[in-house]
Structure 1
Amino acid sequence: MTLLGRLLRNRRAGETHTAWNQPNLQGPELLKLTSEGFGDCEAMPKAHGAKNIGGGNLSPQLSWSPAPPGTGQLLLVVEDLDVPLPKPAVHCVALIDPALENLDTGALGARQPTAGVRPLRSTIGRGYQGPSPIKGHGPHRYVFQLFALASPVDAASVDKARPHALLSSLTAPVLGRGRLTGTYER
């Protein structure tokens, strides 16, 4: 696997196709998103990595500033910007009650999410899917993006939607957004 990582070292999805850069998800950067486990652009602890690489596959603790008035729902999207594909890999999509201002470690699990959290389908599965970059590929950036939407998303209609189709179909105005980037390397 190390050879494969070295061969693909210069192939990375990048920022262009992230949720953050989609025209329908533009809005003011009013939300400050943080984690007790890592700072912005810092390494994520192994506990948040995927189980297949020895991690715990636990979503990190996240906190954010209060949602803007009129927020109908929060949308959290976690993407790997450095996967060697044309678009970032979506590691988590979740709808969150706007009354929440933080999530404990493990709150985004598919089997037992925290009350007020509805994990949706990601590129890899449902709920949080921890980092599992190719060995030797170098550091990967995992960007946690939080969007305050003016109206709730009809969860039943998007429950089985593919993540990129879901993100491009959202029409509710974005009242505020924030992001946090963690890194992971094997």
Structure 2
Amino acid sequence: MLEKLPDVIGHALHGVRAGLDAIVFNTLGLREGMSTIALTSLAFADHAPLPARYTADAPEGEGLSPPLQWTGVPAGAACTVLLVEDADSPTPQPLVHAIVVGLPAGDGALAEAALPSADHPGTGLHVGRNSYLQAAWLPPDPPPGHGVHRYAFQLYALAALPEFSETPGRDELIDALRAHAIASGLLIGTCERPDGSIRIGQDAPAGPAIAG
């Protein structure tokens, strides 16, 4: 995992970030005239650190998806969808950590570990592709020394239930949002891996990987 990357790589990429303005919530103009969904978590407050159990930060990190709950979904909604992006990934677009489509309309919740991840099967949701092309929760895994990463948990209410593919990706989801979104909500969780994360005796990988 990326905790083994040398600190120098994180420092070199420190100013390279997709940016919060690049997440879907801020790029599609969906909020103007739309209802607001209150998206929260029992595990962390807005703009507060994610507990280690929901990250890839060994040894505490279990890679679980965190619990979420939401209220304020408008009566005209046919379904809701979840998108989680890393606004601070050093990539042209935010790194996608999770997509879930076809969630029930109305106020709802996702339990801890509801999304599949390594060693956790999930609860049978319709999960799309993350940026590693896996239909799973991609645990936060920022490189050491890169600074704070902001993980944008976004919930959208749709006025129609699109016929999503088996594992929809970011582009497919954006098309559906442009056509059908009627409400949105945003919750930010943070994660940072400071310098010195490489333990004595660990070998760094031969080259850098995509940070997230």
TM (norm. structure 2) is 0.78
Residue among 164, 167, 174 paired with 1:168: 174
For 1:1-186, what aligned pairs fall within 5 Å after superposition? 1-23=6-28, 25-26=30-31, 28-50=34-56, 54-95=60-101, 96-99=103-106, 101-109=108-116, 112-114=121-123, 117-124=125-132, 125-155=134-164, 158-163=165-170, 165-170=171-176, 171-186=178-193
Q: Distance in 2 between matches of 1:55 and 1:6?
A: 23
Asked if 2 retains the 8 angstrom alpha-carbon contact of 1:35 and 1:63, the reply is: yes
Q: Distance in 2 between matches of 1:102 and 1:60?
A: 11
Deviation at 1:114, TM superposition (A): 2.9
Q: How large is the Cα RMSD of the aligned pairs? A: 2.1
Aligned residues: 182
Q: Distance in 1 between matches of 2:99 and 2:20?
A: 17
Asked if 2 retains the 8 angstrom alpha-carbon contact of 1:108 and 1:127, the reply is: yes
Q: Which runs of 5+ in 2 are unaligned?
A: 1-5, 194-212
Deviation sequence 1:16-64 (CA, Å, 0-9, x none):
3311123274452421000011100000000000276751111111010
Q: Which runs of 5+ in 1 are unaligned?
A: none
Q: Distance in 2 between matches of 1:136 and 1:24?
A: 33
For the pair shown, which has the larger CA radius of gyration, 1 or 2? 2
Higher mean C-alpha deviation, range 82-91 or range 121-130: 121-130
Deviation at 1:128, TM superposition (A): 1.1
Higher mean C-alpha deviation, range 86-95 or range 43-52: 43-52
Q: Distance in 2 between matches of 1:139 and 1:173?
A: 33
Deviation at 1:127, TM superposition (A): 1.9
Q: Distance in 2 between matches of 1:39 and 1:14?
A: 21
Deviation sequence 1:132-173 (CA, Å, 0-9, x none):
001110110001000001111213xx224432x213321432
